[in-house]
Amino acid sequence: MRTYCKLLLLLIIYLLPIYCFAKEDNKIIIDNKIEIDKSVHDFGDVKLSDGVLSCSFNVKNISKEVLIIYNVVTSCGCTNVSWDKAPIRSGKSGKINVSFKNDQGPYPFDKDITVYFSTAKKPVILRIRGVVHEKMKSLEELYPIHFGKLGFKKYIIKGNNLSQGEQSSDIIRVANISNKPIFLSFENISEGLKLSLDKNPIPQHSTANISYTITANREMWGKNIYSFVPLINKKRISYKVANDNISSINILAYTKENFINWTKEQKDNAALPIFKESTINLGKIGNENTKAVFQLSNRGKSALKIYKIDCDSDAISNLKIKDIPAMSNSSLEIYIDGNKIEKGEFSYNLLLTTNSPSRPLITLFIFGEKS
pLDDT band for 104, please (50, 70, 90 cuts): confident
DSSP 265: H
pLDDT at 260 over 90: no
- Which tens digits make up the pLDDT trace of 38-96? 888 999 999 999 999 999 999 999 999 999 999 999 988 999 999 999 999 999 999 99
- Could you tell me how far CA 84 lies from the centroid of its own chain? 30
How far, CA to CA in Å, does 2 sit from each of 216, 243, 312? 26, 11, 11
What is the per-residue DSSP string for 282-305? EEEE-SSEEEEEEEEEE-SSS-B-
Q: What is the pLDDT of residues 108-156, one digit of tens each?
A: 999 999 999 999 988 999 999 999 998 888 999 999 999 999 999 999 9
Q: To 5 degrees, how large is the angle CA 186–CA 191–CA 193?
A: 60
Q: What pLDDT score does 92 carry?
A: 96
d(CA 245, CA 239): 6
- Surface-to-core class of residue 61, CB atoms within 10 Å of its CB (0-12 exposed, 13-18 middle, 19+ buried): buried
Residue 105: the pLDDT is 79
Query: Quick one: what percent of the chain has pLDDT higher than 70?
Result: 93
Number of Cβ within 10 Å of residue 287's Cβ equals 12
State the average pLDDT for the chain.
89
CA distance 118 to 337: 53
pLDDT at residue number 20: 37
- Distance from C-alpha of 117 to C-alpha of 84, rounded to nearest angstrom: 12
Which residues touch 310 (CB under 8 Å, ≥6 apart)?
A: 8, 11, 12, 222, 223, 319, 350, 351, 353
228 near 193, Cβ under 8 Å?
Answer: yes
What number of residues does the chain have? 371
